[in-house]
Structure 1
Amino acid sequence: MHDIATHFKGQMESDPSGRFLVSLLSFTTDTVSIRYLIKFILLSTPALMIVLCSPFMGWASDIWGRRKLLIAALFLFAFSGMSGYFASTLTELFIGRLFLGMSIAAIKTLTVAMVGDYFTGKERDRFIGWQGSAMKFGGVLFLLLGGYLADIHWRIPFWGYALAFLALPGAIFSLYDPKKPDATTPSSASKAIALPISIPKVGFILISAFMASVLFFMTLVQIPFFIPERFAGSPGEVGFAIALANLAGAGIAVLFYRFKERLSFVTIFTLIFALMGLGYWLVSVTPNYPLLLAAMTIAGCGFGLIVPTQSAWMLSEVTGARRGFGIGLVTTAMFLGQFASPVLIEPFIDPEDPSSVFETAGIILFGLSITYAIISFFQKSKRDIAS
């Protein structure tokens, strides 16, 4: 990212998008540096587009079908991602990231919704877990590949988005839109869209997804500062700690269906918050780097259950005609949490004590775990009375 900032530094005032974004970002800081600008373009811009576009993508797929939209999104993902290699101006880079965010919104929403189209019951829970695991493994591999290619030249990692072309044959020849009267034709789908959903239940899912995302993403924001300040760790040690947490998450996500066989969704979120809380608290008190890795592994087990749990939970609460829209809302909640995390965590950061933010987050997570345990208890009691 340093090399990208150096390359585009001279365009902050001459490029139209550069001037616009500097003016926009000036409301958040007194001085907008080129590094801040590039971080916003490369990271925040796609996330913001995902937040805005995910419900629309899901709604559109409920009406017109998911397969063709997914194929188009894969093409858009590849070309918009690769556009960074050819970008010669900040405007070109910015537009490419806008379209990249749109494509990710579609891919993330449609692939989960299609799991709901194709599978039910335990088979759905098993596949959701594998999907969550693949996301974790893919994230780790993409980061490692990007880091390796960036050592050659800063433009080359943008070719990594071409990997989307490998998924296209499967999308074209293997996927299909189930022929359901309430989800395939515009006229019947429009009527289905009007069907009510349980706002309290869906709202609770979205709040849970948002809170989990805020507290998960703080790891990616704070660990790169915490390890060097606490242990004088290197960038490699930072990357290894984050990768280990994600690998632990990938492993536990595969077992999601086992958790679902025995526990309700609320109880699983109780476990998620407890594991994250324990991991974060241990991070705050650990005296050395090896024990930090153990703490990150514990927290990572909580991370790995977040996506499959919120996805399966939403799929269980919405009808087939509203499936895409429901998953789009979950995607928005998740990325809104990612977008808001640095802002919400900032008041708890003590520059004199880098461990304090993890201690505070651990306490908050333990509180959430207790709250969800109480809710789970009353839900179980209500079901027992009803039966």
Structure 2
Amino acid sequence: MTRQAGSLQGWILTTAPWMTVFGVVLLSPVLPFMMKDFAHHPNAQVLVTTVLAGPAVIIALLSPFVGVLVRRFGRKNCLMAAIVVYAIAGCAPFWLTDIYHIIASRMIVGATEAILTAVATVLTVDYFSGRARERWLAFQFGSASVIAVFAFGLGGALGGLAWGWHTPFLVYGFMIVMLPLFFFFLWEPANPVDKFTENAGQSGPFPWKQIAPLWLMTMLASIAFYVVPVQLSFVLNSRGLTTPESIGIASAIANLGVPLGSFLFQAFARQPVMRLLTCGLALFAGGFAMVAAATTPEITVVGAFIACVGGGLVIPLHLTWIMSALPFEQRGLGSGGFAGAFYIGQFFSPIIAGVLAAGTGGLGAAIGVLGWAAGVAALIALVYGLTTLGGSIKLELAEAK
């Protein structure tokens, strides 16, 4: 008798992508204090931000190869092994004091996150079908933004304890409590079929020329999206917030804009794509401009909140845009490319911000430059949306056969 998945399995699989969220936002409030401890290192800014963003590039590089592990060892086995290694490597920096050892442990975390996110997606596809499948896949992304708000506050609170910036890393170890849920309530499909690529040949060749530019746009949007999670703590610290708790609370308030942006996307998804893209980019531009011009933490948070609304609108727009442009059978490759582009953007975001800060005289000015870039992009989207071709682009997901 074939086992039937329900809401319990959907929720359990949804928690796996949450673990990648913790990797960024949990540590963000304590980055300025980590920076102070490693300030004696050459390129300390790059090293410390690599602790935060380094796992992203590992996810992007390894995600295409996760399928090999899954086929050899099984979906469920890979998922449970990844959780164990994630917990051990994730909390290791609590005891580590060498920045290079910490970075190495973070790269291991990135490898496990690649497995967690990929296998959770595959099992969701195995367990569910039709609209139920798409609802759970969408929920895995959407719920992560809500978890991020909680993680900002948690990271700041833990960073204020006796062990300082080391303390938030212990949260990774608690993820081991998820293991029994994965063991008892998930199962290996008897005859797993890769439903992402099944019958893909019936739809013709993959439209690389149409989708590759959307992946590039996703990467650029991700670079902008991660400016607030990665850089806001440094900006707030320079403008008067001196404790991890206050930085964590302020960051959580700013990132409330992400779920609001996601809600706005859902509410206005039937609008032309270029209109939505213009609005999202304009929010990025306005928010970054306010952060750059602000002199107080309060105004800085307001600007960051506006930018986060733009991010919450633009990121799901890109994912749905890609899915809408593909037949059902080709959406696996489309979503995989989206994930790779998104994580590559996450990795490059602090590097680009650091280079701009060095060239413009400070992080605030660098964010201002990114605001100008977003403004130019918004103007281009606006003009293109007024053309016959640009104005006709809408989001229409075809049903699974």
TM-score, structure 1 length as denominator?
0.72
Deviations 1:129-162 (A, max 9, x none): 5433432232333343344334232554333113
- 1:165 matched to 2:173: no
Residue among 329, 340, 343 paired with 1:335: 343
Residue among 217, 224, 230 paired with 1:208: 217
Residue among 189, 194, 208 paired with 1:183: 194
Residue 320 of structure 1 and its aligned partner are, at CA, apart by 5.9
- 1:56 matched to 2:65: yes
Which stretch shows the higher mean deviation, 170-179 or 369-378?
170-179
1:27 alignment partner in structure 2:
none
Superposed, 1:1-387 pairs within 5 Å as 32-33=41-42, 35=44, 39=48, 42-57=51-66, 66-85=75-94, 93-112=102-121, 118=128, 120=130, 127=136, 130-150=139-159, 151-153=161-163, 155-175=166-186, 183=194, 196-229=205-238, 231-235=239-243, 237-254=246-263, 256-260=265-269, 262-286=270-294, 288-318=296-326, 323-346=331-354, 348-349=356-357, 355-377=364-386, 378-379=388-389
Is the contact made by 1:61 and 1:324 (CA closer than 8 Å) also made in structure 2?
Answer: no
Residue 205 of structure 1 and its aligned partner are, at CA, apart by 2.2
Is the contact made by 1:276 and 1:303 (CA closer than 8 Å) also made in structure 2?
Answer: yes
Counterparts of 2:310 and 2:32, CA distance in 1: 32
Deviations 1:223-282 (A, max 9, x none): 3443455x444345544332222122124324543232x235554333321211121223
Deviations 1:16-64 (A, max 9, x none): xxxxxxxxxxxxxxx8449558626633442331221123236766999
Which stretch shows the higher mean deviation, 147-156 or 208-217?
147-156
TM-score, structure 2 length as denominator?
0.70
CA RMSD across the alignment: 4.3
Structure 2 spans left out of the alignment, 5+ residues = 1-30, 395-401
Which stretch shows the higher mean deviation, 353-362 or 197-206?
353-362
CA gap 1:212/1:257 in 2 versus in 1, 3 angstroms:
same
Query: Percent same amino acid at aligned positions?
Result: 22
CA gap 1:284/1:306 in 2 versus in 1, 3 angstroms:
same
Is the contact made by 1:182 and 1:189 (CA closer than 8 Å) also made in structure 2?
Answer: yes
Deviations 1:149-180 (A, max 9, x none): 34232554333113433444444455567789
Counterparts of 2:226 and 2:240, CA distance in 1: 22
**What SS does the corresponding residue of 2:194 show, helix, strand or coil?**
coil
2:13 alignment partner in structure 1:
none
Which stretch shows the higher mean deviation, 81-90 or 204-213?
81-90
Counterparts of 2:204 and 2:224, CA distance in 1: 33
